[in-house]
Amino acid sequence: MKRLSRRSFARGAVTGTLAIAAAKPVILPDEPQQQAEDTGLSPGQTQEIEARLNEVVRRYGDRLSEEQRQRVRHILEQNARMLAPIREFEVKNGDTPATTLKLHVEEVLPDAR
């Protein structure tokens, strides 16, 4: 059995990642625009949904029924709608977090018997 070195593993991981990033989704040219109009999402959001859906189908496609694929698409569309206001909010590098962790230590009193 051939041993896999860290260097060859990293090289393969980078090559695979670049191949996935360079690959275009298999969709018709007018489909994203039409879906964007139907769902109320921007073309960029629709492209992101398609890319995520294509990745899910690539990984688990042989185990997913058509109904499950439609359910995944629906969930991705809901997530895109919920994330839109969060992504629009501008954050600068020096901004402090909105919430911070505050620990409150309660004193435990001995039982009064």
Write out pLDDT tens, residues 82-99. 999 888 888 888 888 878
Range of the domain at 43: 27-88
CA 35 remoteness from chain centre? 19
Question: What is the reported pLDDT for 12?
Answer: 78
Q: Establish if 47 belongs to a structural domain.
A: yes
Return the top range by mean pLDDT from 16-25, 26-35, 59-68: 59-68
Please check whether residue 60 lies inside any domain of the structure.
Answer: yes
Q: What is the per-residue pLDDT across 37-59, written as a single tens digit (0 to 9) for each?
A: 566 888 999 999 999 999 999 99
Asked if residue 52 is part of any domain, the answer here is: yes
Q: How many angstroms separate the CA atoms of 5 and 17, rounded? A: 18
Residues 46, 74 contacting (CB under 8 angstroms): no
Domain count of the fold of the chain: 1
Dihedral, CA of residue 82, residue 85, residue 91 and residue 97, to nearest 10: -50
